[in-house]
Structure 1
Amino acid sequence: MATREALWGYRNRFGDAFGRTYFRRFGPGVVSSVGIGTYLGDPTPAVDEASRESIELALRSGVNHVDTAANYRCGRAERVVGEALRDAPLDRESVVVATKGGFLPFDGERPSDPSAYVRERFVEPGIVDPDDLANGAHAMTPDFLEWSLDRSLDRLGLDAVDCFYVHNPETQLAVRSRGDVYDALEAAFEALERRRAAGDVGAYGVATWDAFRVAEDGDRYLSLAEVLSRAEAAGEAVGPDDDHGLAAVQLPFNVAMADAFTRRNHRAPSEGDADGPVSALSFAHEAGLSVVTSASIGQGDLAVEGAVPPDVDATLAGETPAQRALNFARSAPGVTSSLVGTTDPDHVRENVAAGTFDPLGASAFDAVFE
């Protein structure tokens, strides 16, 4: 697991090579505000090799935040992350490793009959109950999440991960009430509190696509205030103290998907807040939760000239469109780290170099939306 000494030691290796606030507080130490994601790519040996090389290069170059999930690339992404960590010339304790559980993973390739695969691999052995499934592919019962965590540790070849996310809990809203989903999250958090106490996870979080950025009356909306309340209850129930391990939220954020900053859709953490609802980013900042952005350059769509509106583009530092788009995400108040996935070494270098430019200050970022 990452340690304070090793995380700060990693940061100190690079001295002043990066811009101000490139390394930001996370967990016991600091983490790079550019992280490498592992979502995209076909489940093939060729992509495995390219991904492994890209992750190793990122780790050598100033990126000490790697994000993956049990289901990414049919389970191959976690194996590749583990191989890259073992091959890279640095201590595992200097890297924040995050993974996710929720979607039922395939085993190396997409089966010809996914429904039969789920039935044979998950339902019949009793790993999941059919009633716990949403869209035939998602579950978040404590037993399933613990099963998923154990398999993730095996694929990664690690004793522990630094952050384990409950993956897209809003998926469950397709088959059960919002209240039932909150209850399920609390039960999941209690299981993760026990695994935190056992030393298998450093912290846990919630990774979403829609839940925290859509309108309050949206079908896939979840309240950050209620999610935090359920984590507090889980921490109190498990003990030995009343602390809790909910440390991070992950959500999409970029210049074309800025809802997490612009939409006021969450009750403020402070009691009696006279200003009414706040944005997801504001809530997280006030509550002390780290925010990790996914789709930080729109999965490549914002890496071309003209994709970022000219008036916004002109305010951002960076030599390329991808760097400026990434620096927009890194500039948002409350953001800890922005993920970018790539299997191209040149793109890794380009993304890392974005961190040599200073992000916008809070006032300048606010001005973008005036």
Structure 2
Amino acid sequence: MRTVTLGLGTYRIRPSALSDAVVRAASAPVASWIDTAPNYLDGQAQSLLAPLLARHSIPVSTKVGFLTDEAAKNAFSDGALTDEEAEHGHCLSTPYVHWQCARNRTELGRDRLDLVFTHNPENADGDPHEALRNAFTALEEEAAAGALSSYGVATWDGFDTGALNIPDLHQLAVEVAGTEHHLRAVQLPVSLVTADALAQALDGEGPIAQAHELGWQVYASAPLFGGELPQLASHELTNLLNPDLSTAQACLLAAASCPGVTKVLLSASEPAHWAEAHAALREPAVPIPTLRKVLDVLAAD
């Protein structure tokens, strides 16, 4: 039985729409989730969320990795960042990850973080696996201190380029903390445009299938490719996926129908878009043969 749920993404949401969006997300208490990062909304996302989260007890995933100018300045001042790391704009060093986790808790107004993703480790200065080893070390220490429930890896193209793979991530976590490690999730783009992982999952292969086999949560980001996908998809393609849905709904359902995906993240500023997304996810999953046919059609264009 498919158990994919909808989560609120905050990367593209309008700040003025954030309050209402959180209320809508909270309306489904069992499945509610918010995904954010300290660099979202010009570095204001977490601070804007804090008073809303004080009124609505919603689980939140946040991130470590990218530096805002203010964070770089403050982390350097606190001795958690070197000049070189600050200049690079991305850091997963052990001192910095500890510093950013503390800052995330402060900005979100929470004593314990639900889930922290290492943010695009493929952007690390040097070997991303060594950067992740340092980050995992810090995150396991955060978990041991009771300040963190679990952590994960969020990437844009790390799996596509071969910079990352699930077996290596799992092995790295085992090396850092043993088999009882707290690495429990991955986040990656899943859509009819960013379709490599989707296509692999249809055959029981690739990062989504491998993460699912380990029991990890799989967060599908950019399911509508930043809102561009509905303009790219044809009416015929929509009918093939589900003739009863709009183009945006059909494309969203396609991402949610990917085997192994557990949560789809959507930055929906408009109430109608959120309602339409929920309606789409209540539809039966698109059959795997149909998804294969859709991907074949797109590949031929």
Give 2:22's aligned residue.
55
Does structure 1 conserve the Cα–Cα contact (< 8 Å) formed by 2:15 and 2:41?
no
**What SS is found at the alignment partner of 2:61?**
strand
1:192 has 2:139 as partner: yes
Does structure 1 conserve the Cα–Cα contact (< 8 Å) formed by 2:174 and 2:181?
yes
1:201: how far off? Answer: 1.4
Give 2:66's aligned residue.
103
Does structure 2 conserve the Cα–Cα contact (< 8 Å) formed by 1:56 and 1:85?
no
Give 2:299's aligned residue.
none
Structure with the higher fraction of residues in helix conformation: 2
1:299 has 2:254 as partner: no
**What SS is found at the alignment partner of 1:34?**
strand
| Counterparts of 1:200 and 1:226, CA distance in 2 | 26
Give 1:332's aligned residue.
258
Deviations 1:298-339 (A, max 9, x none): 1111234xx224554223235222211111110001111111
Amino acid at match of 2:79: G
| Counterparts of 1:313 and 1:297, CA distance in 2 | 13
Deviations 1:35-78 (A, max 9, x none): 1100125xxxxx43311111211221465011001111122211
Does structure 1 conserve the Cα–Cα contact (< 8 Å) formed by 2:191 and 2:198?
no
Does structure 2 conserve the Cα–Cα contact (< 8 Å) formed by 1:50 and 1:343?
yes
| Counterparts of 1:259 and 1:98, CA distance in 2 | 24
Give 1:231's aligned residue.
173
Residues 132/354 of structure 1: CA separation in 2 closer, same or farther (3 Å cut): same
| Counterparts of 1:206 and 1:123, CA distance in 2 | 24
1:250 has 2:206 as partner: no
1:72 has 2:40 as partner: yes
| Counterparts of 1:38 and 1:106, CA distance in 2 | 20
Please provide the CA RMSD for this pair. 2.5
| Counterparts of 2:172 and 2:15, CA distance in 1 | 38
TM-score normalised to the size of structure 1? 0.72
Residues 310/347 of structure 1: CA separation in 2 closer, same or farther (3 Å cut): closer
| Counterparts of 1:122 and 1:345, CA distance in 2 | 38
Give 1:132's aligned residue.
85
Percent of residue pairs bearing the same amino acid type: 30
Residues 104/55 of structure 1: CA separation in 2 closer, same or farther (3 Å cut): same
Does structure 2 conserve the Cα–Cα contact (< 8 Å) formed by 1:69 and 1:100?
yes
1:162 has 2:87 as partner: no
Residues 226/155 of structure 1: CA separation in 2 closer, same or farther (3 Å cut): same
Map 1:139-158 onto structure 2 (within 5 A): 139-158=91-110
Map 1:1-370 onto structure 2 (within 5 A): 21=2, 23-24=3-4, 33-41=5-13, 47-61=14-28, 63-88=31-56, 92=57, 95-106=58-69, 118=72, 120-133=73-86, 136-172=88-124, 175-176=125-126, 178=127, 181-214=128-161, 216=162, 221-236=163-178, 242-262=179-199, 278-304=205-231, 307-317=232-242, 319-369=245-295
Q: Which runs of 5+ in 2 are unaligned?
A: 297-301
My pick for the range that moved more, 71-80 or 324-333, is 71-80
**What SS is found at the alignment partner of 1:203?**
strand
Amino acid at match of 2:186: V
Does structure 1 conserve the Cα–Cα contact (< 8 Å) formed by 2:191 and 2:255?
yes
Residues 235/212 of structure 1: CA separation in 2 closer, same or farther (3 Å cut): same
Residues 53/191 of structure 1: CA separation in 2 closer, same or farther (3 Å cut): same
TM-score normalised to the size of structure 2? 0.88
Does structure 2 conserve the Cα–Cα contact (< 8 Å) formed by 1:189 and 1:234?
yes
My pick for the range that moved more, 123-132 or 295-304, is 123-132
Amino acid at match of 2:11: Y
Give 1:8's aligned residue.
none
1:99: how far off? Answer: 0.4
Alignment coverage as a number of residue pairs: 293
Q: Which runs of 5+ in 1 are unaligned?
A: 1-19, 25-32, 42-46, 108-116, 237-241, 265-274
1:294: how far off? Answer: 0.8
Deviations 1:148-202 (A, max 9, x none): 1111111111121221101110001xx42x3xx2122122112111211222211
| Counterparts of 2:77 and 2:60, CA distance in 1 | 32
